[in-house]
Amino acid sequence: GYPVGEPDALLSLSVGTDDLLKQIDELAAFSDTPAPSVTRVIYTDKDVAARRYVKNLMKGAGLSVREDAVGNIFGRWVGSEPDLPAVATGSHMDAIPYSGKYDGVVGVLGAIEAINVLRRYGFKPKRSLEIVLFTSEEPTRFGISCLGSRLLAGSEELLKSLKSTVDAQNISFLDAARYAGYAQDQDDISSVVLKKGTYASFVELHIEQGPILEEEGTSIGIVTAIAAPASIKVDFEGGGGHAGAVLMPNRNDAGLAAAELALAVEKHVLESGSIDTVGTVGILDLHPGAINSIPSKAHLEIDTRDIDEGRRNEVIKKIHQSAFRIANNRGVKLSEFKIVNQDPPALSDESIIRAMEIASTELNLSRKLMISRAYHDSLFMARISPMGMIFIPCYKGYSHKPEEYSSMEDIANGVKAYYLA
């Protein structure tokens, strides 16, 4: 709503697209791989530098900045009634290896620009407005997605497991966080948890990461629900041995067990009969990784999702059964089958959907109600706040690769829809 001034004046305001374009490019330069790819992994030097950059932008927008013990960053514009629950927005800026510069970033830099627009307009918020930059939406380093928002929403399981979580280099989560300036001794990770009701609403702006909006020429996607994600880690152990000397009948090849399981994942996903069920083996590591050595260990990580939680759980059950059967048939050991997360889907709040419909009508923008097949920090914010998401089109639906692209016009439309809603 508009507490001051004329809605028409707000409608005619323009988004600072030049600044926003420049900021997206500057932020993309904090990367461990060369442009156009972006790789920005949590608590690395590049991540710390990018955080500094964003905190400066927040301060430049007049926000007061707070960081919690895991590095969730909060930029607050204090309202005239500061005791009321704030209206919040935000997203992430960590980038998986060799990805693009828009995933997450649009929702962070776009939100800061939305604040700048509102300030230029002379808007005086009643409720405080808060931008949240979430720590580690991507599971790249510590294997768990939406780490920051999962904690904010009070995941006891994660609070417990983080005490013993390590990365692939065996660096503990706590040491990595300390390296980046967080989780200092006096900081108890459980202090991160937000009380339900802290926010009156939470809205995330994000690129669609799918092709629908662009194909249909629709400007704005209004998310009605976020699909239910799960991830699983599997280890097989076999006998290994010499690739020439051990004859085929005498092998217990852990690598072939993994290959067979990867195909079983595809089969079980397709058996669901629904286009909405998906499964991916994105990590497959063989040990010792030599051409002339039979793999003695194989490690897989499996991502599976569905808008229907029960159907996704059925797929997980079948994958588990296949892992047992394959190990048995091949005489290898299934040394680990760990469900890392098995999250329910989340529904957007009806009143936020309505507000976004009204905003898109006022802006004369075409819109589509749609589900999000990707997960987002909003999945967890929905546990403690009414939640909504705005999608903008992206080139051919590309995401999680360097070709990811959204036009400034589409980004600006998203920013407008956000501040109007």
Q: Which residues bind ligand GLV (CB under 6 A)?
A: 138, 374-375
Q: Which residue, 63 or 392, has its beta carbon nearer to ligand GLV?
A: 392
Q: Which residue of this chain has its Cβ atom nearest to ligand GLV in the complex? A: 374
Q: In what order do the strands lie in the sheet with 228-237?
A: 278-287, 297-306, 228-237, 333-342
In this structure, how many other beta carbons lie within 10 angstroms of the beta carbon of residue 186?
A: 7
CA 238 remoteness from chain centre: 35
Q: What is the CA radius of gyration of the chain?
A: 23
DSSP 48-60: HHHHHHHHHHHHH
Other CB atoms within 10 Å distance of the CB of residue 400: 16
Q: In the complex with ligand GLV, which residue's Cβ is closer, 79 or 414? A: 414
Residues contributing to the site for Mn ion (CB under 5 A): 103-104, 374, 376
Q: Which is nearer to ligand GLV, 352 or 374 (CB)?
A: 374
* Partner from ligand GLV, Mn ion, none binding residue 240, C-beta < 5-8 Å depending on class: none
CA distance 417 to 409: 12
If contact means CB under 5 to 8 A according to the sort of partner, which of Mn ion, ligand GLV, none does residue 421 touch? none
Q: Are 397 and 92 in contact (CB under 8 A)?
A: no
Q: Could you check whether the bond before residue 36 is cis, i.e. omega within 30 degrees of 0?
A: yes
If the CB atoms of residues 28 and 129 are measured against ligand GLV, the closer one turns out to be 28
Closest approach of ligand GLV to the CB of residue 405, in Å = 17
Nearer to ligand GLV, 98 or 121 (CB): 98
Percent of residues in the chain assigned helix, strand, coil, to nearest 5? 35, 25, 40
Q: Quick one: what does residue 94 bind among Mn ion, ligand GLV, none, with the CB cut-off 5 to 8 Å set by partner type? A: none
76 binds, among ligand GLV, Mn ion, none (CB under 5 to 8 A by kind): none
Of residues 376 and 416, the one with the C-beta less far from Mn ion: 376
